Structure 1
Amino acid sequence: MNLDNCPVCGGLFLKTKFRDICEKCYKEEEEAFEVVYNFLRKRENRMATITQVVEATGVEEALLFKFIKTGRLQLRQFPHLGYPCARCGTIIREGKLCESCNKDVNKQLHMIYEEEKRKDKQNNNPTYYIKKDEK
């Protein structure tokens, strides 16, 4: 356990591996989760988007993303919910990167790999220069 400032309210609290916010903010978060869950539990609301959930419940988008990322809201039950790609912010349903960013990162990694391979080849095949005698 460590003494830390709450990232939500700034108050001091004992941070544990189970809780990253103070007790007061945790209770508020739990109340917000209940509001969201009760909204989504209704059959007519299961197809709601993030924007619709925010408008209907008043819960911040960032908190909804936290509920999804921590597994408290299961995406398989709510087909129009998701969370932002870690790189570009596009809404995704699995992983950390959207398909486009994933391809781009892999392309960049491949380019780095090829450059390293080329450098290694140059280092393993040194070029020798012979100086001619000048007369």
Structure 2
Amino acid sequence: MGELANCPKCGSLFVKTRLRSICDACYQEEEKAFETVYNFLRKKENRRSTITEVVEKTGVEEDLILKFIHQGRIQLANFPNLGYPCSRCGKFIREGKLCVSCKKEIQSQIEQMEREEQFQEEKEKMQTYYAIQPKNNEKR
């Protein structure tokens, strides 16, 4: 069962469920916006539009278009010039959450951390033995 919550868009009270995090009125607005964007992109001459052009021609906010893309409602395979920003650097990408350069950088950082951890483990395994020199008055 859902819980009572305030709509993040309009502030009205509604029952929040797993499927919807906004009220019914805002959901209906989003559906109209989706239809506008989808009908624009369906036209052959508009399929090569960038996200900026889609925003300008449809009047739908960029964040909402990006939400449709992330939900999988707009398939990027059909629209070669659409994309969304990398979660780390903001560069436009077409798949995943990170661009190739951010993935490589994070992977190299992980590898460096693993090398450091391995070095620390090997260092802890090594034991150092010290020979105690007898004092002058002691016999061996």
So what's the TM-score if we normalise by structure 2? Answer: 0.89
Structure 2 gap ranges (5+): none
Q: Which residue of 2 aligns with 1:37?
A: 38
Tell me which amino acid in the other structure corresponds to 2:48: M
> RMSD over aligned Cα, in angstroms?
1.6
Q: Give the match for residue 59 of structure 2.
A: 58
Residue 120 of structure 1 pairs with residue 121 of structure 2: yes
Q: 1:131 to 1:91 in 2, by over 3 A?
A: same
Post-superposition offset of 1:8? 1.9
| In structure 2, C-alpha distance between the alignment counterparts of 1:58 and 1:122, rounded to whole Å | 61
- Cα deviation code 1:24-72 (max 9, x no counterpart): 1111100100110111111100000000000001111110100001010
CA change 1:129–1:8 in 2 (3 A) is: farther
SS at match of 1:4: strand
Count of residue correspondences: 135
Q: Which amino acid aligns with 1:117?
A: Q
Larger radius of gyration: 2
- Stretches of structure 1 lacking an aligned partner (at least 5 in a row): none
Partner of 1:94: 95
TM-score by length of 1: 0.92
- Report the AA paired with residue 84 of structure 1: P
**In 1: Cα distance, 2:129 partner to 2:12 partner:** 66
Which one-letter code corresponds to 2:124 in the other structure? N
